[in-house]
Amino acid sequence: MGTLCTMRTYGWRSWGEAFREIAIAAVLAMFVLVIEEAGGKGYMPSVRSFLRNAILGAAIVTGARFLETILSWAVEQSRIPTTFRVILYAVGGWIGYFAGAVISGLLIGFQKRDFDPHSFHFTYAAVVTAAITILLGLVFHHNRKRNDRLRASIERLKEHEFAEKELEIARAMQQRLLPPMHIEHDGWRVEARTEAAHMVGGDFYDVVRLDDGAAAVVIADVSGKGIAASLLMASCKAMIPFLASRGGAAAVMGELNEKLCAQLERREFVAMTFVRFEPASGAMEIVNAGMPDPFLLGDNGLTTLAFTGDRFPLGARRASRYQATRATLAPGERLLLFSDGLPEARRDGNPIGYDALEAMVREFTSVDALLAGVGGLEVDDDLTVVLLERLSLSS
């Protein structure tokens, strides 16, 4: 059916809605006639009576709802819309009743009592018409509002399901951008895990083999969460393999910072730890730009690496000057990199902090074991752990 006005709050919105309500009113009018005649007088009404009441019922609802439809704008601006509508229903119902009486009179004959204001039938018809019209008008409007809410709920559900599917696709694509969780080459290996606080996250890690035999090991935390952070993560990760082969760790981070400062908006940045590792000698150059300080685990226990120079995240300050910390990874020693989601995991509402984290790290045997210890805590931020290990000669 054609549309009258899909945005209208009151009255009919489509011809289909109008015809449906008019048909319902006609049927109800005939049902009322059966109750009045068969129930009160004990006999079934005639066909003429059924036709007359059907015409009256259809005309009454047409008058009331048509009046509401053409004055919908006034009802919407009224401070008492319900009272306004009740008046419109009563007046429109009366107009419809007399119009229906004229139509039925022309078709099947007039009844004098329909137009005699002194008769009981006239008063009775006026009262019943107003009452039934008001009731039907309120019921029809309430039913339409309920259907609107139902349609809106269905649309929201569809949008939510669509968004969930889109996020699942984005999560799968994001996972494919990351290297394997376990990488092993001659003399060294990397274990890594990342867990997003939401469907997609901004944390990432990377392992890049360089042409000179060295390896670049990266862990990063992009500002924000969700889709925006994941897109920024993908853009940043795409630059790393190209830049990592162009010099030392400090030079790589400086150039990456320049590029991100030119691309990112205010309050967008990337915290990152970049490690250039020489597998043959175990020598490392490490630059920390806004990430938690890594742990070095060896025969002497746990050591927290210290850094000099600027520590600003990439993209936050164009004038940042990064300096590399040099260290050596002896056979059997391990370097643990992690994002701030690990020390900020909460127990009883409070972050576990670095002291408790160090105690956990001293006892851990693998990345999975470490994350299993965090599994019982509240984690609201993306969490990534990367373990670089130089294998002992006997491994």
- Residue 178: how many CB atoms within 10 A of its CB? 17
CB 80 within 8 A of CB 88: no
The helix (H) or strand (E) run that includes residue 370 is: helix 367-374
The helix (H) or strand (E) run that includes residue 251 is: helix 249-263
How far apart (Å, rounded) are the C-alpha atoms in residues 201 and 170? 10
pLDDT at position 167:
64
How far apart (Å, rounded) are the C-alpha atoms in residues 295 and 363? 13
How far apart (Å, rounded) are the C-alpha atoms in residues 222 and 380? 15
pLDDT at position 349:
78
Q: 10-residue block means of pLDDT along the chain (395 residues)?
A: 68 88 91 77 80 92 92 90 92 92 89 81 87 90 88 86 71 77 92 79 87 93 74 84 88 93 86 95 96 92 92 92 95 94 83 87 86 75 91 70
Q: Is the pTM of this model over 0.85?
A: no
pLDDT at position 39:
62
How far apart (Å, rounded) are the C-alpha atoms in residues 3 and 15? 6
How far apart (Å, rounded) are the C-alpha atoms in residues 334 and 139? 73
Topology of the domain covering 180-390 = Phosphatase 2c; domain 1 (3.60.40)
Residue 43 is encoded by which pair of tokens? 């006999």
pLDDT at position 245:
83
CB 94 within 8 A of CB 129: yes
How far apart (Å, rounded) are the C-alpha atoms in residues 395 and 383? 29
How far apart (Å, rounded) are the C-alpha atoms in residues 24 and 4? 19
* Residue range(s) occupied by CATH 3.60.40.10 in the chain: 180-390
The helix (H) or strand (E) run that includes residue 15 is: helix 15-34
258 CB-side CA count, 13 A: 7
Report the Cα–Cα distance between both ends of the chain, in Å, rounded.
78
Residue 19 is encoded by which pair of tokens? 């015809």
Residue 80 is encoded by which pair of tokens? 């008492």
